[in-house]
Structure 1
Amino acid sequence: MTDQAVDTGGVRLSAHESAEGHFLGRTRELKELRADIERAGLDTLSGRKAPRARVLLIAGRPGSGRTALAEELVRQVGDRYPDGVLRARLSEPDGTPVPLERTARELLTALELPAPAGAGEDELTEALRTALADRRILLLLDDAAGAEQVDALLPEAPDCLVLAVSSGPLTGIADVRPCTLGGLDTKSAVALLTRYTGTVRITVDPRAAESLVEACQGHPATLVLAGGWLAARPKAAVSDLAKRLHTAAEDGMDGTPLARVFRHVRSDLPGPAARMLRLLSLAPAGLIDPHTASALAGCSVGTARAILDDLVALGLLHAVDSPLPQYDVPGCLHPLLRACAESQERPAELQLARARMLERTVRLLQSCRAITETDSPQAREKLSAMPREVRFPNPRAAADWLRIRRPALLACARLAVADGELDNLARRLMSQLVRAMVAHEGTQAAAADLYDVHGLVLDVARRRGLAREEAAALLNLGDVDAQTGRTQDALARYRLALDAGRRANDPYATGRAMESVGGAYQELEDHDRAADWFGRALAERLARGERDHAARLYGRIATAHTYAGRYGEALRNWRAAVAGYRRSGDVAAQARALSELARVQEYAGRFAESLRTCQEAAEWARRADDVRLQAALQLRLADTLERLGDGAAARLHRVAAERMLDEEAAEDGASRKQDANACEIRSTPSED
């Protein structure tokens, strides 16, 4: 395994990354943690083999350097785990626990293992534990909100190590001793300040540096803010900042050292930077790029980028290691930023900032999709009409942006739906997100994310009483359930979609739901009900004069009767399908229907009729230039001729089939893409 990290949106699989020379202090804590790895557990002492991985816990307040300590331990012991390091963050920046289902899915994706779309928490966590059972891996679970999150992800493999980071104890997990963090020792804290101020200001007044460390209580995040402020003001004395903080503490201002230093740093920011900083608390998943900051603050992208870089220098933001400029808000500062936004911005201003951010995201997604459709003059015209800052230079750049920003885009959709007051923007955002994912990744590759988005669409549709969109979302969710083997779940969704389609008086959704109900019953081998529901869908199509769809449904009814052994009914419906395709002029479909008709005739023991029908089907397949169908029909002719006792003719047909397939393989070795049957959210605004 290489030393490169693979970013999967909150979860990473990598070998250890060297941070030697950048980590300060915590010598005692590192020694204790390394000793704890070697310590015999309770199971070993009792003579039993450990049933699960050893769990180490680093406990401390946000900003105490707990994640940095965990990463340093990973760097030191990562070589012992040849299968690499898995990382996952278990809480959102605002402290909301990340659903276990999402975490397990991301971890499976990092392991390049399948995670079925729509699968539940139990199924995914079990799949993860199974995958880790025969591996020797180090699992870093950062910012755990509680023991239940960690417990559900524990590998059942004693050779694995789980390193959990949390604010408190993980009560309920056996044999875990927390390594509790306080402030840095004075020497390490001064060294941390020196990185920002340089050695001169520390050397000339070492007592002032120690006084500042005391005022910050050795809290690493507080020291970073203090150091960033001093670095931005080369002429400021360390002693002045230390005095201000001690005075603020004596006056009882802003309870914690972090809050006091944050208030001091923020008060010196220019107005636009201060406003942007507090609005960053609205950024989805705490992930910020220049477009997000620009939309929130209502400034240009270039100005936003410059302000973000200044905030990084002050320690108020972290730059994310990413091919695109991205930043995140330190978790310890998120509550402070949110409090500032709520106290200094009117609710209407915060809502307007959210709306600007959502609108910008919609525009970027529109551009991301449009760059894939430049073969169309209309698409090129729409693309050229978009503002330059939201256009992508080529499809590859758009695909990279979509992949890198995926966690933020999905979080943006979740936040928009949870807000409840921006549903029209939320609907447009989700519609464009689905289209962009399908355009760049394909329906199958993006199925898990699309399932989540369709679930959000369903929430909004039900909240707003949008029956047509409710039907579309239910059909899409049902399709994914059906594809992943959850047929009963799919059947329930299809029935609900039928009810919603009827309420909306939407014939498309109603017919599609009826047919899907029939397909689910057929998958469940209830062929009588399948034929009945296909028949209902057929009646709807015939009433609206949709002959093409009617012909296809005749074929589905015939298939259900065939499985049930009712060959007479099957033959009658296949003949109706052939007649329908003949009237519509669909030569290829007519050939396939004749082929199925010949198959049923063969099942019914009518070999002579099957031979004639098969020959007719072969002729229509030749006219349709469908080589694969011609080859299949040649093989069927060979089987029928053998049953009729003509072995010589059967051999000739087999040779002809092999020749056709060889020629087809030589002409076209590329695999064909499978077409996905998705129900469009047709009542969503479709402006591009």
Structure 2
Amino acid sequence: MNIGGPRQATLLSALLLEQDSIVPVNRLFEALWDEDPPRTARNQVQICVSSIRHRVSAASGRNLISTQSPGYVLRLGEDTLDSRDFETAVAQARRLAAVGEDARAVEEYDRALAMWRGSALSGIDSPLIQRAVVNLEELRIAAVEERVEAELRAEPRQQTIGELISLTREYPLREHLQALLITALHNAGRRAEALEVYRGTRATLIDQLGIEPGPELQRLHLAILNNDHMQRSNAHRDPAALSGPATAYRRVTQPQPAASRPEQPGVAVPRMLPAAVPDFTGRRILLEALVGTGTPPASSVRIVYGRGGVGKTALAVQAAHQLAASYPDGQLFARLRSGNRQVNPANVLERFLRLLGVDSSSIPEDLEQRAELYRNLLGDRRVLIVLDDAGSEQQVMQLLPGNPKCSVLVTSRRRLTGIPATSRHEVPAMSEDTAVELLTRILGAQRIDAEPEAVHQLCDLCENLPLALRIAAARLADRPHRAVADQVERLRDSSRRLEELDHGGLGLRASIALTYDTLSPDARRLLRLLAISDSPSFASWVAAPLLQTDVHYAQELMEELAEAYLIDTERTSDAAPIRYRFYDIVRPFARERLVMEEGPEDRYEALERLTGALVFLAREAHIREYSGDYLLPTSGAARWALPHPLVDRLLHDPLAWYEQERHCLSTTVRQAAAAGLAEHAWELAISCVALYETRSYFADWRETHEAALRAVCRARDQRGEAAIRYSLGSLFMFEQQNTPAMRHFQQALALYRKLDEDHGAALVLRNMAVLDRRGGKLAEAVERWEEALAVFEVVSDQIAEAHVLYSLAQVHLDRGDDGAAAHVLERAEEICERTGNHRVGAQVQKQIGELRIRAGELDRAARAYTNVLTATRTTGDQVGECYGMIGLATVDLRRGDGEAAMRALLEALTLAEVTNDHVAHCRSLLALVEADMAVGRPETAATHAETAVRLAREVGANPLIAQTLVARAGAHEAAAEAQQARELLYTPPDERRSRRRPGRHTGGGGHPAAG
């Protein structure tokens, strides 16, 4: 069937890939135009859908595509897709293979793979579609691998090797395919060819990726080198099992009792400590704590714990070697983890008993009996036992001796608080100096000294972890031509960091995976979902919306991750709640697992829930800060409500909560905007203005709103666009950028009037009037304020009403109409007292203070300005605090205390400079001019006046410019008079008379007396 042009084919592909699911219009935009849809994108999508509907209906007689907010859904009914049939057939083949019916499984795999007729969705070059195609291709090649495995188990044919050779040439970096080929060649007796395939694969991996082969290939290689026979009867799914490499690997690596040791019980003296690290660096204090005087206290159990890769094992082994002489009856060592599994303590006891001289036939089967025999053998001996990488208390308890003469060192990634221990020692990351020392030992001083800054950055990127540092240093040692700075650049790319920290069998990914695999399923999922957020840190409650669970259980999971050293805790102060953050090295791992184990829809929904929770909290904080649901437009964004007791605890100080979540809020706005959650993005951005305005975080204000504006414009969300443009206009207004502010206000006003939203339009008019006043257009300003006031009274927005009354009072004060100003200020003050709004109340009190000064009521003015300071310091409003200081300084000046005024004004000037508020800065300077004049410093007054004029002109406020010009003229006049007075004071009397009478002549020359 002819679908139409490429655009129709792309759109239909997007719908088919998500059959029976709603595909949002935004995702169709992305499929067709990536990140740059045209303004007519929605209309074009509608036309394409209509065209496809018509063609499909003509061919099938059915309408398969329906419109369902927020997009379209394609339902095939009883029909199905090739991809679904393929997945069904593969699932059936896997079931057959799982019960040992490999021949039938091969037939089912063949049936599934026969459905492929070339590349999926070929000819469609949309990046979104191609990403989905990659997933389909991965399913196909996985099925190919599984088919070959089944054939090798069932009845391998000679042609299987030929198929594998072709596949490995097509996919040279798929290690599992290479392992299958090696297995097939070995089974066919072609051992030399199998080894050559391994060598070629290893060379390719090192050359193209800079990594060694993984454990599967390494085990196979070792098995072949040891000439193991293939154990076809034991073969299942793992090609390593086909060749028996696990047996070979154990035989090569498992320590065996020395031939010279006596084999009688109670006589053998095991010396099982692994070699100490030759270049062990630092850890002096920890070593001293572990070793002490050389003989630990009786019944010593010391636990060494810390995050993976921090050097716990190296430290414990180093300490054990120093202690060994104090334990003449031997030293036992056991790793309590094998791969991603905890080793059964029964197996450890079996090995220990053999090392202590017990014959295999005499070792009991029961765990308790083995533990009793173990304790009995150690009953009168001095033995040091090192238990490395313990996973739980239960694993360790049976391995503890009963003899107080023995000593135990335990290393773990957990604190193991359930074990009665003599001492516990947390191993932190190295200090930077020690990290540099370690790198110097591996790479040499010359190479380290040549790039000190790059070395510092390398240590930082490796988080000063010994394992990460050793891997990075090993890579550099293998590549002497590579600069340290080059390695730093590779590590900066978080998507490549784990690959760069993998070398020669050592790897951060494997180390983190060991810890990850020990977590509970919910904790593993939480670690993955936490990686959705780009925020540098997060509160404990975020786990609740991410996992859709209650906050108490969420907290337990957060603590589980922290105890496993996969996330870290941080606290800015004793009063601040604990926050969590990823270790930089763990975040890439979590993101890998997120993509591997969570589907796109799951990731999208988790981000939506997290953003919805932040919208809920930010809106509630805004309401509490403003004492009501004022100045805050709402969207249709879904919210995730948190329990009231938690909300009350979090938001008892709304601005403090905003401050704690500042970076998380800004980051989430940008993420929501990029993900197409336009309503979430713009409402969250608007809700944060309470913080941005109070603390003058203008950069955050701009970045979040510009991101939200792009999102709402893409989504054609006019309400969102109006709200964001109104807020952006307010930002430019605060920054004294009047032209862009007015442009945004005009666009917002037009949108609100188009939407018949009078309240939004009135909010915009209120701020446009502020710009009118700045430009000297008082009549226009008053007209707009009165129009807005009428709306606020109707909709009962009392805070906005108080704002307008405050502004009108300022106009009356400017005109000298103190009576009218007092009337409107009384109304504004009453509103603020009734609503409990401190922010607007402070502004009203400032105006009342100015009114009282003009009336000569200095005590009442001082009380008003003190109220301003109390309110602004409570909310952290530094700009408002600056105005309060200016007001109190003015009262001091009127009382004749110029020095007190000067001190207050210098403090106000500092606040104005810190907040970068030009108007407050200018007002501070104007007050300083008056204070300078009062204390007899006219020249200083002139300097302050010049700066005030410059700032007023930058602001562009005509009334303020006029005031600064008047102040400058007065200051310069006073400075000139002061200068003339000084000159007359130090001039001789005759010369002074001459200067007073410049017209006198001294003789017939006719020249005036110069004097």
Query: RCO greater where, 1 or 2, for CA within 8 Å and sep 6 or more?
Result: 1
Q: TM-score, normalised by structure 2?
A: 0.31
Please, what TM-score do these two structures have when normalized by structure 1?
0.43
